[in-house]
Amino acid sequence: MNQELKVQAWVDGELDADQAERVGEWVANDAAAGALAAELRGVKAAMAGAELARKAPVSPEFYWSQVQRQIQAEAALARPKTSRWMARWRRFFMPVAGLAVACCVVLLSVELSAGVSRPDVVSSSNEGMDTMMFHDQSSGLTVVWLQDKSAQSDASSASDNDNSIDTD
Amino acid sequence: MRFFLRFAVVCLTCFAAWPALASDLKLEARLIWGVNDSQAAQHKPVAPDLASKLQRVFKWSNYYDITNQIHSIPVNESRDFRMSERCVLKIKNLGDSRIEVNCIGKGKEVSRGTHTLAPSQWVILAGNDKNNTAWFIGLREVDAGLADSK
C-alpha cells in the first residue's frame, strides 16, 4: 500500500490500532503527509451525504430462493398446532417407555441368572433312607444316591436290603 | 423415536407373554441295572456313551436297560413314570428345565428333589440292589422328535 492510500485509510478509520498509531505519528511529523490528510478530510466532509443511492440488481435465483424461504417459514409456523399434542405425549411416553425397557432387561437378567444359580436340592422323605447327592463334571452326571440305613448298619446283609426297586 | 416406541411395546409384550412361551418338557427316564458280571444277559446293554459315563463314576462294569419311558410334561404339571412294579417317579415340570422328582417305592415316598436339566447331562437316582448289584434311574431332557412314549 503506498503512502497516500495509507493516509486515506487512516482518515477513513480503516486501519488497525497499531497501523493507525504509526500513520498518525507520521502525519503529525511530516508536513506533506499532514497536508494530504487535511485535504482528504476536507474532501470527505464535502462528500458526506452526497453519494447517490444505488440498488443492486436482483438475480432470478436470489428472488426464487427468497420465495422458497418465505414458504418454508410459513409452513413451519402452521405445523406446531398439530404436533404440540404429540410432542407432549412423546415427552411423557419416552421416559415411561425407557423405564419399561430397563425393567424388562433387569427382570429378564434376574430370571436368567436365577435359572443358572438355583441349586439342585434333594431330601429324603423316608426315615429309613439316607440321600447323598453329588455332581461329576467329567461325565455330566448329577447323582442322587439313596442308601438304606439298615443296609448301612449291616453291610453284610446287603443282599437283603429294602432298597431294591425290582429291576428283574 | 417411532422405532424406540415400537421396540418398547415389543419388549413389554414379550415380557408379558414370557410364561406362556415356556414349552412342554420332553423327559426320558431309564431304569438301569448295574452288575459286575453277565448275569443280566437277557437284558439289553445300555448305550455305550451312557455306560462309559456310569463306569467312570460307579464300580459296576455292566449296565442293562430295564425300562425306558419318555413323556411330555406341560409346565406346572406332573406325570407318573412307572419304572417297575415297585417304583414310580412323579415328575413335575417347574419350567426353565427345572423338575421336581418324587421317587415312590412300594407306595411310599422315598425321596423328593428338584433338579435343573442341562443338555447332554443326566440326573441319576441310584441305590444298592440285591447281590451286590445296583439300580439307576437316569433322567434327561430329550429332543421333540423323541417325545412319544416308548
What are the tens digits of pLDDT across the range B86-117? 889 999 999 888 999 999 988 888 888 999 98
In a domain, B29, yes or no: yes
Cβ neighbour number for residue B102 with a 10 Å cutoff = 17
In chain B, what is the greatest distance between 2 CA atoms, to the nearest angstrom? 74
Q: What is the largest CA-CA distance in chain A?
A: 139
Mind telling me how many Å the CA of B58 is from chain A's nearest CA?
Answer: 10
pLDDT band at B31 (very low <50, low <70, confident <90, very high): very high
User: Does residue B147 carry a pLDDT above 50?
Assistant: no
Stretches where chain A sits below pLDDT 70 are: 1, 51, 79-83, 111-118, 124-125, 150-168
Residue type for position A122: V
Domain that holds residue B56: 24-146
C-alpha cell of residue A149:
440305613
What contacts B105, CB < 8 A, 6 or more positions away?
A165, B86, B87
What pTM did the predictor assign? 0.55
pLDDT of residue A35: 92
The Cα–Cα gap between B150 and B134 comes to 24
Ranges of beta strands (E only) in chain B are 25-35, 44-45, 62-73, 78-82, 87-95, 98-105, 108-116, 122-129, 133-141
In chain B, residues 85-104 whose CB comes closer than 8 Å to chain A:
85-87, 96-98, 103
What is the C-alpha to C-alpha distance for residues A71 and A64, in angstroms, rounded to an integer?
Answer: 11
Residue B7 lies in a domain: no
Q: Is A93 on the interface with B (CB under 8 A)?
A: yes
Neighboring chain A residues of B135 at a CB cutoff of 8 Å: 164-165, 167
Helix, strand or coil, per DSSP, at residue B108: strand
For B42-81, write each residue's pLDDT tens digit. 888 999 999 999 999 999 999 999 999 999 999 999 999 9
Residue B17 is assigned to a structural domain of this protein? no
- Is residue B1 a part of any domain in this protein? no
Cβ–Cβ of B86/A148 closer than 8 Å?
no
* Cβ–Cβ under 8 Å, residues B101 and B116: no
SS3 for B133?
A: strand
Q: String of b and e for A57-93 (b: at least 16 CB within 10 Å)?
A: eeeeeeeeeeeeeeeeeeeeeeeeeeeeeeeeebeeb
- With contact defined as beta carbons under 8 Å apart, do A141 and B124 qualify? yes
How big is chain A by its Cα radius of gyration, in Å? 50
Range scoring the smallest mean pLDDT among A23-27, B36-40, B94-98, B126-130: B36-40
Q: Touching check for A102 and chain B: CB below 8 Å?
A: no
Residue B9, domain member (yes or no): no
| Centroid of chain to Cα A137 | 47
Q: Residue B12 pLDDT more than 70?
A: no
* Integer Rg of chain B from CA: 19
Q: What confidence score (pLDDT) does residue B64 get?
A: 92
Within 13 A of B44's CA, how many CA atoms are on the CB side? Answer: 9
Establish if B65 belongs to a structural domain.
yes
Q: Which residues contact B59 (CB under 8 A, 6 or more apart)?
A: B36
| pLDDT single digits (tens) A98-132 | 888 888 888 887 766 655 556 788 776 677 778 88
| pLDDT at residue B2 in the model | 62
CB contact (8 A) between residue A159 and residue B132: yes
- Which grid cell sits at B16? 408379558
From B136, B116, B141, B10, select the one nearest B63 (Cα to Cα).
Answer: B136
Contact state of B53 with A142 under an 8 Å Cβ cutoff: no
| Partners of B79 in the β-ladder | B91
Cβ atoms of B127 and B135 within 8 Å: the answer is yes
Domain count, chain B: 1
In a domain, B105, yes or no: yes
| Residue B115 to residue A142, Cβ atoms within 8 A | yes
> How much is the pLDDT for A167?
52
Q: How many CB atoms lie within 10 A of CB B33?
A: 23
Looking at residue B39, its pLDDT comes to 66
Residue in B97, B122, B130 closest to A140 by CB = B122
